[in-house]
Structure 1
Amino acid sequence: MSCGRIVMGIWNYIKNSGRFNAACYTLEWVGSLPGKRESRRMDTAYLLSQEDVLRHTDFADGGFYGGWYMDFHPAEGIGSDEDNCTQIPVNVYAVPLRCLYHADFPNLLFAGRNIGTRREAFVSTRVMNTCGLSGQAAAALAWGCLRWGKSPATLAPEEVERIRQTLLREDMFLPGLSNQDPEDLARDAAVTASSRYQPEEGPAAGWFSLEQGGFVACPCPDEPRGRFLVRADAPATLQAVWHCCPLPSRLCPGQPAGEQSWRLTAGENWLDALFPSQAQGQYGMLVFDPAPGVSLALAERRAPGILCGRADAPEYRDSLFLPGKNSFYAPENVVDGCSRVWRQPHLWCSAPEAAPWLELRWDTPRTFDTILLYLDPELSMEIPSSRTDHWEDHHKFAARKGMPPQLMRDVSVQALTENGWRTVACCTGNRRRLLELSAGEAVTATALRLVCEKTWGDERAHLFEVRVYRQHR
């Protein structure tokens, strides 16, 4: 059966069945060529495999990342007797630059659906977002080849690392790689702030039913324990399994790491969560068994990096989970080298206040003209690149409504020069995750202060990373 006959048959049913109110509709456009989901892939210097995706292989030349399901479809298409779609959830994984070139063709790079993967990995890398990231990585690789006059296969390890650091600067996420840019002046600064957010015990702002189970995900604190509040209609036993992972998701919590259970009395119960030793340096996720009549307390304010929900529901909720002693939201996190949630939040979050500020201070004057701010556009949300009103159960995602409240909207930067403090850069109405602020000229100062004048709704400032550069000399 040809693709054209299938399209026209479906259109005939939509228009003439009487079920879709489409009698007066016309078919405006049909592609002249059928798109092949399993498109041709190149035989590159390295072929990403299923094992790399599932085991999250750590590549020395990791250049971008993926994270979509291993999304299999039958080769026969809609005429197949097999299941139309088989999706295996995966966690975030790295893709090496070697998947973008072949040693025998020194002047040719690949990006998009034709990068070098085996089929089992291709069904994850083929999606638009990952294809777009491969294009950014290929552009950075081309830049490196032009800079050093080499083909991709002959680049030295230190040159590959320079390309990866450039990608980091341009806001590519490379799992496990931290900022080592020697030109970033912020790395040598001492950091202070007007305040730091700390989740506090208080009444529940709402309740999340555990009748169908659920989870709480939290990075392992320095003191590996936490407390959370549940409410039980009657005496019961609550059981959960710990999982550990650098960055879990609702469908892929990580490796099992033991069980924990609690005896509940009727009413509210504060419970202790004891992180397993395997969780040190990464996330711990408590996955609760179904518990009829038991609900988990929700917090009034979001604690960045701490979430709860269910595997079969796209929405994440904010649990009233109180981690032990930790540095989750400390000011110095903005220069720890990581600008995304990975094992830890790596975030400065201020207390609720008017115009919170963060300050960088140097022992000796520094000259700069550019400030890069890596902000928080609610990275915990799983957001598709397109969305319709109807979703199949296996394609459920939360819809974003409006601007993310924790994104900084109005920002000013002040510098402490020999003539005192003065404003050197500002921005209003920001909608970007990576905000580049230019001073317009070289500024020599011993301190730099970022002031969050306004966000898109949150009373707190959220900031992952600050970088400071002298770009024009």
Structure 2
Amino acid sequence: MLRDEGSTAARAVKSVELNADLVIVGGGMAGTCAAITAARAGLKVILMQDRPVLGGNASSEIRLWCLGATCHMGSNNRWAREGGVIDELLVENLYRNPEGNTLIFDTVLLEKVLQEPNITLLLNTAAYECAKPPGNADRIASVTGYCSQNATRYVCRGELFLDASGDGLLGFVAGAAFRIGAESKEEFGEGFAPTGEFGHLLGQSIYFYSKDVGRPVTFVAPSYALKNLPGRIPRYKHFNAKEHGCRLWWIEYGGRLDPVHDTEDIKWQLWQVVYGVWDYIKNSGNFPEAANLTLEWVGMIPGKREARRFEGLYMLNQHDVVHRPKHEDVVAHGGWSIDLHPADGVFSEFSGSHHLHSKGMYGIPYRCYVSRNITNLFMAGRNISTTHVAFGTTRVMCTCAVGGQAVAEAAAICIKRKVLPAALAKGELLRELQQNLMRNGQYLMGEKIEDPRDLSMPAEVSASSELKLGALPADGPLERLTRSHAQLVPVPAGRLPAVTLEVFADEETTLEVQLRTTTRTDHHTPDVTLASQSFKVPQGASEVTFAAGTVMPHAGYLFICAMKNPKVSVRCTNKRITGMLVVHHYRDETTAKIGGEDYEVWAPARRPGGQNFALKFVEPVAPFGPAMIKSGVLRPVDQAHAWVAALGDMKPTLTLKWPAAKSISQIELWFDPDYDHAMESSQYGHPERAMPYCVSRYVIRDDQGTIVHRCDENHQARNVIKLPKTLQTTSLTLEVVSTNSSDSPAAVFAFRAFA
């Protein structure tokens, strides 16, 4: 028994002091990925999160899908999904949770963090102040947080700090320079900068879920629910009984209030709207199909979009996103549209979102993640150094996540080299950072892995076979040309061979076929027409052959375009091949008048659709040779960058061979997790648990044929094999037993070996 007789002095709450190399405030996707990355790099990490779960807006508290450069597969960004830790998390979530249950995603994030012994996780702990070293106003010494669940105050000391809190609490109390709101058009020459009427801040959202209970359910609205919905919400006709969750992202409010200090007021207004919407759906009489529906869940806190943006060593702006210049200090990529919302949100007369898409992905400089006036402070997430316009694209969670990975790798170098973050903005330390990021799966535009430790580079590489594109089996469905469709094929520069398509026409007609490519090899916008030919097509089945001789100006992707004709269908194949896709003319981007570009958007269909054309090349094209595993790129970009086995190879093998024995203690394999698939973390749902292109079972043998590693279930891109003892061998052979789909041949991006 504990008994206290009382005290005349005020009591203090329990206080705990902790020390780490890196202290992270904020456990959303940026903070979570940063913590995992830093811990794996050997740093002692404190992750302070003010909520009971990780994931921020992607968690079960908010329930927004985690998304990024793939743009829901509605843009020209091919193979754009983010790599590294965020890819590992999304792939694992898909395997466990293809239905997109946010509660399961919570468990994936928590498990991955708990598996790292270098992380001290403080949930339900809100940071509220920081301390600085005596006489050193430009540096943070500690951050203090309070956990209301255990009535404990935590003082967390560190060498480096990361503000991944969204609202920028740590940077604010530390005195970091920041901005809130939109810049003028003139400051950065941004044609998309909003007017005062549109508003200078994005708002916040609360979502709801409904479910059918199989019998009529009444709903009596609370007194604070919004009344007269049709008279208050201009877009009220968009509400229906089927959509819920984050598909109602446009239930938004707060863009004309203080996004930090007015959040509780914003929450109440959003609750009024949500319950008013549900009252309208249930009781207006316009939705009889809602009779058996009940509210299953309503968010308790708003999902935030915009607040403080800290000023770094560089501010990303509209020009960087649209024109995509090469930044020497690129450490991450983005690709979501510049997506600005009206400040009045759900009450606005404007449409809920205004988009400006660029032709391809853009790079984000390291300088955007480093505070310009607090020397040991990083930023990651929605508070990084951008203009309001550029923030419209960098704010989405997968883009936030790769920023978290970037600063975590930077922090590891800072601790190792005993330097401050700004020292990594150029020179050898920058190059070290970029190489570490790419080795761990981060995609950096225009860069490639160059690792002198990798024993695969001097090795002779051979394979049991390689896929040469002659004739793909015509075993798939017919794709009707209600839109123009195009097959993407990676080809070398030079003269193109003749290519044949099998078509079926409802009646005699004419079909136009175009060969296109791209102006730049770092995007997949088919903005260059190389040749065009019209074919008279008889009724029924026939073939059309585009003659040889067209010159491909550079190695890259060829678009074989069957132009729109609803009377014609193209025969497809069921074979799904790494680095090949069919896209269709989806829409036209017309944003030149606001500083964007005018161009065509060609996007793929989601599986189970989206089959490749059953192509026939008169002279086979060979873009998938074993030497591709030395390219230093771990995804299709300008080429497939993968070895792909022949379709008939039932026991595909890939071999590294050296003239003398090598000492090997670690092997790394990189398989294809389909970087083109958006893999939204919630609500969308997906038709498979594992990507069809990914190798699922394999063995590795030494030069004596002895199995040194066996894997009987795999769904991840990266496989790291740490051998129990150092192996002496003149060769390593990867034997692929199966992929996750019998219609996808074995594919490997990298097969590395290390002493």
Q: Same fold (TM over 0.5)?
A: yes
Task: Find 1:8's aligned residue among 262, 275, 282.
Answer: 275
Q: CA deviation at 1:16?
A: 3.5
Structure ID, larger Rg: 2
Task: Find 2:612's aligned residue among 297, 318, 340.
Answer: 318
Matching of residues 130-209 of structure 1 within 5 Å: 130-155=399-424, 156-201=426-471, 204-205=474-475, 206-209=477-480
Task: Find 2:738's aligned residue among 446, 449, 454.
Answer: 454
Q: CA deviation at 1:277?
A: 5.5
Q: CA deviation at 1:346?
A: 0.8
1:334 is matched by which residue type in structure 2?
A: I
8 A contact 2:493–2:551 mirrored in 1 = no
- Summarize the Cα distance change of 1:200–1:369 in structure 2 as closer, same or farther, 3 Å threshold: same
| Match in the other structure for 2:555 | 281
Residue 412 in structure 1 maps to residue 412 in structure 2:
no
Q: CA deviation at 1:237?
A: 4.1
Counterpart CA distance in 2 for 1:448 and 1:387 is 43
What runs of 5+ residues in structure 2 fail to find an aligned partner?
Answer: 1-252, 254-268, 587-603
| Match in the other structure for 1:305 | 579
Query: Could you say what secondary structure the match of 1:168 adopts?
Result: helix
- Summarize the Cα distance change of 1:183–1:80 in structure 2 as closer, same or farther, 3 Å threshold: same
Counterpart CA distance in 2 for 1:122 and 1:279 is 36
Residue 86 in structure 1 maps to residue 354 in structure 2:
yes
Q: CA deviation at 1:241?
A: 6.7
Counterpart CA distance in 2 for 1:24 and 1:379 is 37
Query: Could you say what secondary structure the match of 2:299 adopts?
Result: coil
- Summarize the Cα distance change of 1:456–1:61 in structure 2 as closer, same or farther, 3 Å threshold: same
Query: Could you say what secondary structure the match of 1:145 adopts?
Result: helix
Counterpart CA distance in 2 for 1:215 and 1:142 is 44
2:630 is matched by which residue type in structure 1?
A: V
Residue 360 in structure 1 maps to residue 656 in structure 2:
yes
Task: Find 1:39's aligned residue among 295, 301, 307.
Answer: 307
- Which segment is superposed worse, 286-295 or 402-411? 286-295
Residue 339 in structure 1 maps to residue 609 in structure 2:
no
TM score, norm. by length of structure 2: 0.57
- Summarize the Cα distance change of 1:203–1:339 in structure 2 as closer, same or farther, 3 Å threshold: closer
- Summarize the Cα distance change of 1:254–1:265 in structure 2 as closer, same or farther, 3 Å threshold: closer
Counterpart CA distance in 1 for 2:547 and 2:366 is 41
Q: CA deviation at 1:444?
A: 1.7
Task: Find 1:381's aligned residue among 653, 669, 677.
Answer: 677
Residue 262 in structure 1 maps to residue 534 in structure 2:
yes
8 A contact 2:513–2:532 mirrored in 1 = yes
2:605 is matched by which residue type in structure 1?
A: P
Where relative contact order (Cα < 8 A, 6+ residues apart) is larger, the structure is 2
Counterpart CA distance in 1 for 2:616 and 2:370 is 48
Counterpart CA distance in 2 for 1:98 and 1:22 is 54
2:527 is matched by which residue type in structure 1?
A: Q
8 A contact 1:247–1:341 mirrored in 2 = no
- Summarize the Cα distance change of 1:11–1:325 in structure 2 as closer, same or farther, 3 Å threshold: same
8 A contact 1:175–1:342 mirrored in 2 = no
Q: CA deviation at 1:359?
A: 0.4
- Which segment is superposed worse, 85-94 or 441-450? 85-94
Q: CA deviation at 1:448?
A: 0.8
- Summarize the Cα distance change of 1:147–1:279 in structure 2 as closer, same or farther, 3 Å threshold: farther
8 A contact 2:514–2:529 mirrored in 1 = no
Query: Could you say what secondary structure the match of 1:161 adopts?
Result: helix
Task: Find 2:726's aligned residue among 436, 442, 462.
Answer: 442
Counterpart CA distance in 2 for 1:69 and 1:40 is 20
Query: Could you say what secondary structure the match of 2:628 adopts?
Result: helix
- Which segment is superposed worse, 452-461 or 271-280? 271-280
Q: CA deviation at 1:285?
A: 2.6
Question: After superposition, what is the alpha-carbon deviation per residue over 1:279-329, rounded to whole angstroms, capped at 9, x for unaligned?
Answer: 512223345542232222212422332222324363332112345554411
1:112 is matched by which residue type in structure 2?
A: G
Residue 423 in structure 1 maps to residue 707 in structure 2:
yes
2:536 is matched by which residue type in structure 1?
A: L
8 A contact 2:494–2:554 mirrored in 1 = no
Q: CA deviation at 1:17?
A: 4.2
| Match in the other structure for 2:90 | none
Residue 119 in structure 1 maps to residue 392 in structure 2:
no
8 A contact 1:241–1:288 mirrored in 2 = no
| Match in the other structure for 1:467 | 752
8 A contact 2:574–2:611 mirrored in 1 = no
- Summarize the Cα distance change of 1:241–1:453 in structure 2 as closer, same or farther, 3 Å threshold: closer
Query: Could you say what secondary structure the match of 2:706 adopts?
Result: strand
| Match in the other structure for 1:293 | 567
Q: CA deviation at 1:431?
A: 1.8
1:5 is matched by which residue type in structure 2?
A: Q
Question: After superposition, what is the alpha-carbon deviation per residue over 1:406-459, rounded to whole angstroms, capped at 9, x for unaligned?
Answer: 21112211122xxx3322222221121111112111112111111112222236
Question: After superposition, what is the alpha-carbon deviation per residue over 1:209-262, rounded to whole angstroms, capped at 9, x for unaligned?
Answer: 22322222222335542513042431414154724143555xxx2433455122
Task: Find 1:246's aligned residue among 506, 509, 521.
Answer: 521
Counterpart CA distance in 2 for 1:22 and 1:223 is 64
8 A contact 1:65–1:95 mirrored in 2 = yes
Query: Could you say what secondary structure the match of 2:436 adopts?
Result: helix
Query: Could you say what secondary structure the match of 1:342 adopts?
Result: coil
Query: Could you say what secondary structure the match of 1:366 adopts?
Result: strand
Query: Could you say what secondary structure the match of 1:381 adopts?
Result: coil
Question: After superposition, what is the alpha-carbon deviation per residue over 1:147-181, rounded to whole angstroms, capped at 9, x for unaligned?
Answer: 11111212351111111111111111112211101
| Match in the other structure for 1:392 | none
Percent identical pairs in the alignment equals 26
8 A contact 1:59–1:95 mirrored in 2 = yes
Task: Find 2:324's aligned residue among 53, 56, 66.
Answer: 56
Counterpart CA distance in 1 for 2:334 and 2:714 is 27
Q: CA deviation at 1:374?
A: 0.7
- Which segment is superposed worse, 121-130 or 206-215? 206-215
Q: CA deviation at 1:382?
A: 3.4
| Match in the other structure for 1:72 | 340
Counterpart CA distance in 2 for 1:208 and 1:237 is 14
2:612 is matched by which residue type in structure 1?
A: D
Task: Supply the RMSD in Å over aligned alpha carbons.
Answer: 2.5
Query: Could you say what secondary structure the match of 1:54 adopts?
Result: helix
8 A contact 1:240–1:288 mirrored in 2 = yes
Counterpart CA distance in 2 for 1:69 and 1:288 is 27
Count the aligned residue pairs. 454
Query: Could you say what secondary structure the match of 1:11 adopts?
Result: helix
Counterpart CA distance in 2 for 1:272 and 1:444 is 52
Query: Could you say what secondary structure the match of 1:449 adopts?
Result: strand
1:339 is matched by which residue type in structure 2?
A: L
| Match in the other structure for 2:171 | none
8 A contact 1:242–1:276 mirrored in 2 = no
Query: Could you say what secondary structure the match of 1:46 adopts?
Result: coil
2:479 is matched by which residue type in structure 1?
A: F
Task: Find 1:330's aligned residue among 595, 601, 625.
Answer: 625
- Summarize the Cα distance change of 1:423–1:248 in structure 2 as closer, same or farther, 3 Å threshold: same
Counterpart CA distance in 1 for 2:726 and 2:746 is 27
8 A contact 1:59–1:96 mirrored in 2 = yes
Counterpart CA distance in 1 for 2:351 and 2:305 is 16
- Summarize the Cα distance change of 1:89–1:286 in structure 2 as closer, same or farther, 3 Å threshold: farther
